[in-house]
Structure 1
Amino acid sequence: MNRAIIIILDSLGLGASADAHKYGDQNADTFGHIVEACEAGLANNTQRHGPLKIPNLLRWGLGAAAVGSRKHKLPLATHLNVQGAYGHAVEVSSGKDTPSGHWEICGLPVPFNWGTFPQQEDCFPTQLMQDLLVQGQIQGTLANKHGSGTDILAEYGEQHLRTGFPICYTSADSVFQIAAHEETFGLERLYDLCEVAKKLVDPLNVARVIARPFKGTCNADFERTANRRDLTTPPMGRTLLDHIQDQNGCVVSVGKVGDIFAHKGVNYTVKADDNMGLVDQLLDQMKQVKEGLLFVNLVDFDSKYGHRRDVAGYANALEEFDARLPQIEAQLEPQDLVLLSADHGCDPTWPGSDHTREHVPVVFYGHHCGLPVQAFDLGERTTFADMGQTVASHLGLVSLNYGIGCQLN
């Protein structure tokens, strides 16, 4: 079996999809708006300044993919010395959430709507919260509303330390999140409480319960830790990951990928504190695993910068990742195919703090079925599943149930 590497730049959308108006995202464009903000000098901070500097990502084809998606120019040398096959993909799944995006990439679109909670105070059903108190053996909860993680900690973190009550909140996605102090509340206790919560929200068709541990002593130094855990409803069908394991191939999750698939089709998971740590883990796994799939999710783009509407931070993170691409290239072997994509958008210039309904990049680099990937435009793919189908072909697997493979050489 050959080797494939999928790198998800979590939330790096390439412009609003045709149905984005249904989600209130009609002019969202995560990558394009970051590029424009940098060019205008609106994304400067102590770590970066000026136009976006991502020469390696442009060489792979990311800029060319973005121009094809948004249909007009960007202030970048997008088509100079491109070495990868590039395009963009449209999501057919109903939502703009993390599981749906990842599953569709792996050949399993999600045609139904996940359950969500109303945009109001006390957004969770009364019976759900009563059952959580009894079955979770807690005396009370805080928040019970929509909010971003940073804002929620600022508003309720100190009260949590005083009372010991876990903080329960949600977003526009199908998710029930519980934040608690990693030391005073206890990490294992938080995980156990999330297990209880997942059973309680399953009848509501809620996709995920997320444990959000944090540390610190007050608002000034609260910080979420790397011990996040996503409890996800298992995929309702077979994915690329299952087909790889059918052929005795190895699937390695780098980051939260294993959680997203409820560990179905995953051999093992390695984690790290941030994007650069995850790149380190990928490089280490590339030395050890020579066949199958290395599947990486670089979550900081979404959780630290997209949701927090931090344009400068997002731009800096892209530049940091770009600087690591030569290290990844140096460890590629002649049978390797790399896919660079995203699972949804999260435009840091867009109002609110939620994901945005956008096209995602489709960038292939390396070798496909024994031949070098050629630099050309793959155009618009009508489903994320085309990416999984292409990877399946590279690995010599049977065809997935959805998607049309991309011609790369």
Structure 2
Amino acid sequence: MAQKYNRIFLIVLDSLGIGNAKDAAKFNDEGADTLGHISETVSHLNIPNMQKLGWANLKALKQVAPVDKPMGRFLKANEASNGKDTMTGHWEMMGILTTKPFITFTETGFPDELIREIEKRSGRKVIGNKSASGTEIIEELAEQEINENKLIVYTSADSVLQICGNEETMGLEKLYEYCEMARELTLRDEWRVGRVIARPYVGKHPGEFKRTSNRHDYALSPTGKTALDALKENGLDVISVGKIHDIFNGAGLTEGHHSDSSVHGMEQTIEIAKRDFKGLCFTNLVDFDALWGHRRNPIGYGEEIERFDVKLGELLPLLREDDLLILTADHGNDPTYTGTDHTREQVPMVFYSPSFDHGNELPEVDSFGVLGATITDNFGVAYPKDCIGTSILEKL
């Protein structure tokens, strides 16, 4: 069919799941409900812009009433891939089916065999090997690393292996060398993490340690061609905001913007909406997940949703008749649930264009890949071979 939309804005509210996925039991996540439980916990959830698009029509919320005539079209989506992490969810949105999940080591630290291999190849004894805040672990162990020629290795609630290095004593090149070695090791299935991250710092004593801007991520590239590649190869703009560049290791992107926060990411998206372009603006808002979900803070999470809604109210008037806005999530992270891990949940897909004459609920789908299929279909671009998902453009 002929192109319907000139610009598509795809915004991922990282971890804002809406309840049990069909296979939640397989992931021990029965009963998880990120948005629902936040709504039940907080004293207020003031989200008038999300409300008028139909969020409370799609998902019953204690604090927010459904509206008679929602402006958006919306559906619930189940994930097809075997995983519940950021990379798997985003890759699936653009067509990649992941069957071998990325591994997290949040509860246990890295296995002895991997640590021994890092020690053997680096010539340094590993310290740390736990899930920790980057600033806190430097304060705790950096002096020991410097004085005893050790190596700080740690993880987080995500699928990452992070290595700290003092720029003045270890040197950046040596730190990067260790991270490249760790990236090679963690390509093995049993150690397969999404990213290895170099975390350089300066200072000699507790109280004066400070991380520098020379962080470097060693990400995995998608395992095949994605919708982003198809758009780029056909001369369309593919603009990333926030973590999207890291998640796709730059593949298929024509322009990238680093965000300092989710509010900043929305401000960048708003500025991009004031420009002329043809193609996709793909935004990830990570604070929902990183600051509130993993830290099991439903109050903070609810306040972050409200901050997003304010910025959404600034974005909506900038949308043109031939624009399409898509709001979604990549997994859940129920702040009322046990542990600190992501939760296997359905995600919302809320679509809005000023050209819509009405809103309504659409049938549930069983792959996030409907997004990549729909976006490529809109621009008349062939969806890459082996990509999953079926276009729903005719329903939009």
TM-score by length of 1: 0.83
Distance apart, 1:234 and its partner CA: 1.4
Q: What is the match of residue 141 of structure 1? A: 126
Distance 1:93 1:172 in 2: 19
SS, match of residue 295 in structure 1? strand
Q: Does 1:209 align with 2:202?
A: no
CA contact (8 A) 2:143 2:206 kept: no
CA drift at 1:335: 1.6
* Alignment correspondent of 1:168: 153
Number of aligned residue pairs:
384
Among 347, 369, 386, the alignment partner of 1:385 is: 369
CA contact (8 A) 1:212 1:224 kept: no
SS of the aligned residue for 1:6 comes to: strand
Output the CA distance in 2 between the equivalents of 1:35 and 1:188.
48
User: CA offsets per residue over residues 121-171 of structure 1, 9 Å max, x none?
Assistant: 5x3343x334434655x73332223x3x43x75466322244245532346
- For residues 32 and 199 of structure 1, do their structure 2 counterparts lie closer, same or farther at Cα, with a shift above 3 Å needed? same
Q: CA deviation at 1:264?
A: 1.0
Distance (whole Å) between structure 2 residues aligned to residue 408 and residue 235 of structure 1: 29
Contact persistence 1:182–1:213 (CA under 8 A):
no
CA–CA distance in structure 1, aligned partners of residues 101 and 337 of structure 2: 23
Output the CA distance in 1 between the equivalents of 2:328 and 2:211. Answer: 26
Assess if the C-alpha contact under 8 Å between 2:238 and 2:279 holds in 1.
Answer: yes
Q: Conserved in 1, the CA contact under 8 Å of 2:12 and 2:328?
A: yes
Question: Which 10-residue stretch deviates more, 183-192 or 205-214?
Answer: 183-192
Alpha-carbon distance in 2 for matches of 1:245, 1:304: 32
Matches within 5 A, 1:59-138: 59-67=52-60, 74-115=62-103, 120=108, 123-126=110-113, 128-133=114-119, 135-136=121-122
Runs of at least 5 residues in structure 2 that lack an aligned partner in the other structure: none
Which of residues 33, 36, 49 in structure 2 aligns to 1:56?
49
User: Residues 197-223 of structure 1, C-alpha deviation per residue, up to 9 Å, x if partnerless?
Assistant: 212211336142242748799999999
Q: Could you say what the CA RMSD is over the residues aligned between the two structures, in angstroms? A: 3.1
Query: Does 1:358 pair with 2:342?
Result: no
When residues 130 and 246 of structure 1 are mapped into structure 2, their CA distance, relative to the original with a 3 A threshold, is same
- Cα distance in 2 for residues equivalent to 1:181 and 1:166: 10
CA contact (8 A) 2:377 2:383 kept: yes
Retained in 1: the 8 A contact 2:231–2:237?
yes
CA gap 1:393/1:28 in 2 versus in 1, 3 angstroms: same
CA displacement, residues 23-59 of structure 1 (integer Å, 9 cap, x when unaligned): 2211111000000001xxxxxxxxxxx3211111111
Q: 1:258 to 1:79 in 2, by over 3 A?
A: same
Amino acid at match of 2:182: A
Q: 1:291 aligns with which of 274, 278, 286?
A: 278
State whether structure 2 residue 389 is matched by structure 1 residue 403.
yes
Task: Give distance in 1, aligned partners of 2:39 and 2:13.
Answer: 16
Q: 8 Å contact 2:323–2:353 — kept in the other structure?
A: yes
Alpha carbons 1:14, 1:31 under 8 Å: kept: yes
Alignment of 1:227-266 (within 5 A): 230-266=217-253
Q: List per-residue Cα deviations over 1:280-332 (Å, max 9, x = no partner).
A: 22122223351111110001111111111111111111000100112211221
Cα pair distance change 1:142/1:222, threshold 3 Å? same
Q: Which moved more, 1:192-201 or 1:213-222?
A: 213-222
- Alpha-carbon distance in 1 for matches of 2:383, 2:48: 35
The reply to whether residue 394 of structure 1 matches residue 387 of structure 2 is no
1:5 aligns with 2:5: no
Q: 2:287 aligns with which of 274, 293, 300?
A: 300
Q: Give, in whole Å, the separation in 1 of the partners of 2:327 and 2:210.
A: 29
2:140 is the counterpart of 1:158: yes
1:198 corresponding residue in structure 2: 183
Over 3 Å counting, the alpha-carbon distance change for 1:185 and 1:372 in structure 2 is: farther
Where do 5+ consecutive residues of structure 1 fail to align?
39-49, 68-72
